[in-house]
């Protein structure tokens, strides 16, 4: 993997993955970061990377829905591996505008697979990053395994399920070397403030209401983003081709407990006039809100020896400190100032 195409590399998980990869001694190749720079793609997430690795890092502004652009990129940079993060990923947005999710997550993935298929002689791996939401909702018992039937309940999860199936089909039909990972909810640095954890950190630190869907009993498994990056790299380098691996954080928590933990940690780090828990407000539940997700990652642990390094307590403290220490980044994202910079530099 000497010319690794990372799609969506300016997004939350993609940018963390690029930072992670350049710290690994077993990666000596070049990264071609392809990103359309939509609202959640921010080049500032990778500040300093181009200067630190001028011969090993390239940024290309392009859309995975543009098949001609993809073909040109694959050939110009002699792409021999792909790590595919690029996706529309916010469930609430998918309810309002499902068409964008079908285009990016389904058609965009198809375009990438076609470009890779047409260059089978040099493609060593196509790794597809997906979500546990494709499996639907769990009751009080049980865990998602790699054999769990797909039952997506939102336009977002349905579009990701479709892309998973396409990747698997290209392996079995055309012999494309692929791996797939389905992860639980990520959190950590550089996450766009619309997501639950950064939204709650920022609102609580500013004394604003903390809106919680329903009664806050919906359960998610939480995975610190650097643990996820480590798992992806282990799958890419050591995983069996054609296989799917679940990646979980071994941390099941109700949403209300997550919010309360953030409040308590902020009270400890930056004491206010009143406990932040008083800011919690319950709002009408969103349509099709899955009740519980929980990941069984025993296959990944058994075959590759991976387990998460961060507990939720350690990971959430790192995350809170990062947002408190990067207020300039936060304000540029929330104000849209970074998009003005993107327009000036990339059109």
Query: Would you kindly state where each structural domain of the chain is located, as residue ranges?
Result: 3-188+223-248+289-309
Three-state DSSP at 311 gives: coil
Q: What is the CATH code for 3-188+223-248+289-309? A: 3.40.50.720
Indicate the average pLDDT of the chain: 94
Total residue count of the chain as it appears in this document: 347
Residue 52: is its pLDDT beyond 80? yes
Q: H or E segment at 84?
A: strand 81-84
* Catalytically annotated residue among 57, 156, 170, 323: 156
* Catalytically annotated residue among 35, 88, 133, 227: 133
* Catalytically annotated residue among 35, 63, 132, 290: 132
pLDDT of the residue at 250: 93
What percentage of the chain exceeds 70 in pLDDT?
Answer: 99
12, two tokens: 């939350």
Per-residue pLDDT of 130-176, as tens digits, reads 999 999 999 888 999 999 999 999 999 999 999 999 999 999 999 99
Is 77 noted as a catalytic residue in this protein?
no
Per-residue pLDDT of 113-129, as tens digits, reads 999 999 999 999 999 99
Is 72 noted as a catalytic residue in this protein?
no
Q: How far apart are CA 236 and CA 181, in angstroms?
A: 10
pLDDT-based confidence at residue 13 (cuts at 50, 70, 90): very high
pLDDT of the residue at 339: 77
Of residues 68 and 285, more confidently modeled:
68
Residue 320: is its pLDDT beyond 90? yes
How large is the average pLDDT for residues 216-220?
Answer: 92
How large is the average pLDDT for residues 90-96?
Answer: 82
Q: How far apart are CA 300 and CA 208, in angstroms?
A: 40
Residue matched to tokens 């206010």: 272
Mutual angle of helices 109-117 and 67-76, in 10-degree steps: 40
Is 156 noted as a catalytic residue in this protein?
yes
pLDDT-based confidence at residue 91 (cuts at 50, 70, 90): confident
Residue 347: is its pLDDT beyond 70? no
Per-residue pLDDT of 69-79, as tens digits, reads 999 999 999 99
134, two tokens: 């494709």
How large is the average pLDDT for residues 300-319?
Answer: 97
Q: What are phi and psi of 2, to 5 degrees?
A: -90, -20
pTM: 0.94
Q: How far apart are CA 28 and CA 345, in angstroms?
A: 29
Instruction: Let me know: does 308 contact 155? Beta carbons within 8 Å.
Output: no
How large is the average pLDDT for residues 285-314?
Answer: 92
How large is the average pLDDT for residues 276-293?
Answer: 88
How large is the average pLDDT for residues 267-281?
Answer: 93
Three-state DSSP at 35 gives: strand
């Amino acid at each position: 993997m000497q010319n690794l195409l990372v799609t969506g590399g300016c997004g939350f998980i993609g940018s963390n993955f690029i930072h992670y990869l350049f710290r690994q001694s077993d990666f000596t190749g070049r990264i071609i970061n392809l990103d359309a720079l939509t609202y959640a793609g921010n080049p500032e997430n990778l500040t300093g990377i181009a200067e630190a690795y001028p011969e090993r890092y390239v940024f290309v502004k392009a859309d995975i829905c543009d098949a001609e652009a993809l073909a040109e990129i694959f050939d110009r940079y002699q792409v021999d591996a792909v790590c595919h993060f690029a996706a529309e990923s916010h469930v609430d947005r998918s309810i309002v505008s499902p068409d964008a999710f079908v285009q990016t997550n389904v058609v965009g993935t198809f375009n990438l697979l076609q470009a890779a298929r047409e260059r089978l002689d040099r493609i060593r791996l196509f790794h597809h990053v997906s979500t546990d939401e494709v499996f639907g909702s769990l009751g009080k018992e049980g865990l998602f395994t790699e054999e769990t039937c797909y039952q997506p309940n939102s336009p977002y999860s349905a579009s990701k399920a479709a892309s998973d199936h396409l990747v698997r089909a290209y392996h079995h039909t055309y012999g494309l070397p692929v791996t797939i990972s389905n992860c639980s909810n990520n959190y950590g640095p550089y996450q766009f403030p619309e997501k639950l954890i950064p939204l709650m950190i920022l609102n609580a630190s500013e004394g604003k209401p903390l809106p919680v869907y329903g009664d806050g009993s919906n359960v998610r498994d939480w995975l610190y983003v650097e643990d996820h990056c480590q798992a992806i790299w282990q799958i890419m380098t050591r995983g069996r081709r054609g296989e799917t691996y679940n990646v979980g954080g071994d941390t099941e928590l109700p949403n209300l407990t997550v919010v309360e933990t953030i409040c308590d940690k902020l009270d400890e780090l930056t004491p206010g006039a009143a406990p932040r828990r008083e800011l919690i407000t319950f709002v009408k539940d969103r349509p099709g809100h899955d009740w519980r997700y929980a990941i069984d990652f025993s296959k990944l642990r058994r075959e590759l020896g991976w387990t998460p390094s961060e507990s939720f307590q350690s990971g959430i403290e790192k995350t809170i400190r990062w947002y408190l220490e990067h207020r300039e980044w936060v304000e540029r994202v929330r104000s849209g100032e970074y998009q003005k910079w993107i327009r000036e530099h990339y059109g």
